[in-house]
């Protein structure tokens, strides 16, 4: 039967609300916290609970070149005169240098103080994962004698090193490795499960006692280049494939971020000549194949021997030009810079919003994870985030990285200008307020004052219920007395005589049998709204 006018009105209103959400904006801005006081910043982070400082990675400097970790004091935006940690000599070609830093979740414990770094060493350009430790006598420097190699991975070329590393919600250390470089992944390393390149790795650096720095950390005592154990839940344990692999099929993940609330891992993977992509991996044990080198985003590459089924498509991808663009976004660029899922307190309306940029265009964007692995509320933030407290000629021209402090506040790095910017709230909001309470819908959802069970951006209290067919007994005659009699019979616990009766939750509010179903049925039967 045709849909009733009531159903049409309900559906139309829901679509209108959803469409309006695309333009929803909580305004943001940036303030400069470093402008020339650090050299070649490529990442920022902080140990849990350390709210007064930001640890800044300098990719490479000096001759011979080293990477450095500087401490930036957030109270006055000063940088300590002595670096916190200085790497061994690093390779400097292409994308090489000091690239990643992760603090142990219990770093603040007096008996802990461990951190891990990711750098490419001089000479052969191999990726080195090294463990360091805070000095026993000073919280502002590391103990140079404590440096210990955890993992070494040969690199065939000087690009696509990846470099991101972080502890996940499960307590394991995650590492992002590019495909080894060059073009088209000539060694097919990203799909080769015997290679650690083109992968997201997951390793256990604590051992069975869950304390780093003990003998039980090392499951490979005969191998000086492997100081860790393998989580038993890793997907390739006991079967063909390197046990460290958690996900594969990435080209150059730059960068990744765990959502601190949901545990989702956002992976921004730099494309080759056509598409940039963001994939979200839910918490779990995999394996996940993101498709490269056979797919660039969802676009087949046509490379020889490719018959790969992508196990997890991107939530968002964008093209390099009109010929390679993909809807529904208007984003174009050529090198994605992955960002963070905002979970701070300064901009509560934006909690759960993911920010990212494009290195080539300098554009900055945000979106929220919607229902069914789809992005919603896609907003171009470029104009908002141009820093207002410096000359207008200085902007975030080449966003190289994002980061967070211990409070969950967000930062953007522009390496070309040696600048670091904090993202802050700005006045203004445009977007739906479906219940007209002067609080934007996105704010209510983010703050937990409104429930959005289906993640469509509309508070459930504003969802217009769509009633089921008034032809309850399915005999094609309506409205008539038999529908009412049948409804009352089923509501009272009786059987449907026709065997085709509709659901007793007539108004689809999830509560049944209740008076509201009968009231809604009688209202619609009389020609009223649902």
Strand pairing class (41-45; 53-61): antiparallel
Task: Residue 477: count other Cβ atoms within 10 Å of its Cβ.
Answer: 11
User: Which tens digits make up the pLDDT trace of 367-400?
Assistant: 999 888 899 889 999 999 976 666 655 678 899 9
Task: Give the span between the Cα atoms of 148 and 143, in whole angstroms.
Answer: 11
Task: Give the span between the Cα atoms of 238 and 230, in whole angstroms.
Answer: 11
* Helices 515-525 and 481-491, packing angle to 10 deg: 180
pLDDT at residue 8 greater than cutoff 60: no
Q: Tokens 């401490």 appear where?
A: 71
Cβ-Cβ contacts under 8 Å for 449 (sequence gap 6 or more): 439
Helix (H) or strand (E) holding 383: helix 382-385
pLDDT band at 15 (very low <50, low <70, confident <90, very high): very low
Task: Give the span between the Cα atoms of 520 and 507, in whole angstroms.
Answer: 6
Q: What is the pTM of this model?
A: 0.82
Task: Mean pLDDT check: name the lowest of 138-152, 371-385, 401-415.
Answer: 371-385
pLDDT band at 17 (very low <50, low <70, confident <90, very high): very low
Predicted confidence at residue 318, as pLDDT, reads: 97
Predicted confidence at residue 390, as pLDDT, reads: 64
pLDDT at residue 22 greater than cutoff 80: no
pLDDT at residue 406 greater than cutoff 80: yes
pLDDT band at 25 (very low <50, low <70, confident <90, very high): low
> How far is the CA of 448 from the CAs of 79, 352, 373, 510, in angstroms?
37, 11, 21, 20
8 vs 173, which has greater pLDDT? 173
User: Of the ranges 107-116, 364-373, 480-489, which is most confident?
Assistant: 107-116
Structural contact between residues 58 and 92, judged by C-beta atoms closer than 8 angstroms: no
pLDDT at residue 337 greater than cutoff 60: yes
Mean pLDDT of the chain: 89
pLDDT band at 1 (very low <50, low <70, confident <90, very high): very low
Question: CA 521, 525, 526, 527 torsion: positive or negative?
Answer: positive
pLDDT at residue 151 greater than cutoff 50: yes
Closest CA to 2 of 491, 470, 360, 315: 470
Helix (H) or strand (E) holding 523: helix 515-525
Find the mean pLDDT for residues 140-164: 97
Task: Residue 521: count other Cβ atoms within 10 Å of its Cβ.
Answer: 25
pLDDT at residue 10 greater than cutoff 90: no
User: Which tens digits make up the pLDDT trace of 244-256?
Assistant: 999 999 999 999 9
Task: Mean pLDDT check: name the lowest of 11-20, 276-285, 360-369.
Answer: 11-20
Structural contact between residues 275 and 324, judged by C-beta atoms closer than 8 angstroms: yes
191 vs 451, which has greater pLDDT? 191
pLDDT at residue 2 greater than cutoff 50: no
- Quick one: what percent of the chain has pLDDT higher than 90? 68
- Quick one: what percent of the chain has pLDDT higher than 70? 92
In the Cβ-directed half-sphere of 313, how many Cα atoms lie within 13 Å? 11
User: Which tens digits make up the pLDDT trace of 40-60?
Assistant: 999 999 999 999 999 999 999
pLDDT band at 186 (very low <50, low <70, confident <90, very high): very high
| Buried/exposed 340-360: b ≥16 CB within 10 Å, e otherwise | bbbbbeebebbbbbbbbbbbe
Find the mean pLDDT for residues 350-372: 94
| Buried/exposed 95-106: b ≥16 CB within 10 Å, e otherwise | bbbbbbbbbbbb
pLDDT at residue 312 greater than cutoff 50: yes
Q: E-assigned strands of 74-198?
A: 78-79, 85-89, 98-103, 114-120, 127-133, 148-153, 165-167, 173-177
Sketch out the chain's domains with CATH numbers: 27-424 (2.120.10.30), 465-525 (no CATH)
Structural contact between residues 281 and 259, judged by C-beta atoms closer than 8 angstroms: no
Task: Mean pLDDT check: name the lowest of 168-182, 259-273, 361-375.
Answer: 361-375
Predicted confidence at residue 464, as pLDDT, reads: 66
Predicted confidence at residue 3, as pLDDT, reads: 27
User: Of the ranges 20-24, 31-35, 113-117, 371-375, which is most confident?
Assistant: 113-117
Predicted confidence at residue 16, as pLDDT, reads: 30
| DSSP secondary structure code for residue 507 in this structure | T
Structural contact between residues 112 and 80, judged by C-beta atoms closer than 8 angstroms: no
Query: How deeply is 400 buried, as exposed, middle or buried, from its count of CB atoms within 10 A (0-12, 13-18, 19+)?
Result: buried
pLDDT band at 466 (very low <50, low <70, confident <90, very high): confident
24 vs 125, which has greater pLDDT? 125
């Amino acid at each position: 039967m045709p849909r009733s006018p009531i159903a049409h009105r309900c559906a139309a209103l829901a679509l209108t609300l959803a469409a309006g959400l695309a333009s929803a904006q909580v305004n943001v801005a940036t303030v400069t916290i470093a402008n020339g006081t650090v050299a070649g910043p490529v990442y920022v982070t902080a140990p849990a609970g350390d709210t007064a400082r930001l640890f800044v990675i300098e990719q490479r400097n000096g001759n011979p070149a080293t990477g450095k970790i500087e401490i930036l004091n957030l109270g006055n935006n000063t940088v300590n005169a002595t670096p916190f940690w200085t790497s061994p000599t690093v390779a400097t070609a292409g994308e090489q240098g000091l690239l990643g830093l992760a603090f142990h979740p219990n770093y603040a414990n007096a008996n802990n103080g461990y951190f891990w770094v990711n750098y490419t060493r001089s000479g052969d350009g191999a990726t080195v994962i090294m463990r360091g430790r805070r000095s026993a006598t000073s919280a502002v420097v590391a103990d140079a004698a404590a440096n210990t190699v955890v993992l070494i991975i040969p690199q065939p070329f000087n690009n696509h090193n990846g470099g991101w590393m972080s502890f996940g919600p499960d307590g394991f250390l995650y590492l992002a490795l590019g495909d080894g470089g060059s073009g088209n992944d000539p060694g097919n390393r990203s799909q080769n499960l015997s290679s650690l390149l083109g992968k997201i790795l997951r390793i256990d650096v604590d051992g069975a006692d869950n304390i780093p720095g003990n003998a039980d950390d090392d499951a490979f005592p005969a191998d000086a280049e492997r100081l860790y154990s393998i989580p038993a839940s890793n997907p390739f344990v006991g079967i063909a494939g390197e046990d460290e692999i958690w996900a594969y099929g990435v080209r150059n993940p730059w960068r990744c971020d765990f959502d601190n609330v949901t545990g989702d891992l956002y992976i921004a993977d730099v494309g080759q000549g056509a598409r940039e992509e963001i994939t979200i991996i839910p918490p779990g044990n995999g394996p996940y194949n993101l498709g490269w080198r056979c797919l660039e985003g969802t676009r087949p590459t046509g490379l020889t021997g490719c018959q790969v089924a992508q196990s997890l498509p991107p939530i968002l991808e964008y093209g390099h030009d009109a010929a390679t663009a993909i809807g529904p976004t208007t984003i174009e660029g050529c090198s994605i810079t992955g960002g963070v899922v905002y979970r701070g307190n300064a901009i509560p309306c934006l909690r759960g919003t993911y920010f990212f940029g494009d290195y080539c265009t300098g554009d900055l964007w945000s979106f929220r994870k919607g229902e069914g692995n789809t992005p919603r509320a896609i907003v171009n933030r470029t104009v908002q985030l141009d820093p207002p407290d410096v000359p207008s000629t200085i902007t975030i021209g080449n966003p190289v990285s994002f980061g967070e402090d211990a409070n969950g506040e967000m930062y953007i790095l522009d390496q070309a200008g040696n600048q670091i910017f904090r993202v802050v709230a700005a006045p203004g909001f445009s977007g739906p307020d479906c219940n007209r309470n002067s609080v934007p819908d996105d704010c209510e959802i983010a703050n937990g004052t409104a429930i959005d069970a289906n993640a469509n951006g509309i508070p459930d209290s504003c969802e217009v219920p769509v009633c089921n067919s008034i032809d309850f007994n399915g005999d094609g005659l309506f409205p008539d007395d038999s529908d009412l009699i049948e409804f009352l019979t089923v509501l009272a616990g009786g059987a449907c005589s026709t065997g085709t009766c509709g659901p007793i939750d007539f108004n689809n509010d999830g509560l049944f049998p209740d008076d509201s179903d009968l009231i809604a049925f009688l209202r619609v039967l009389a020609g009223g709204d649902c």
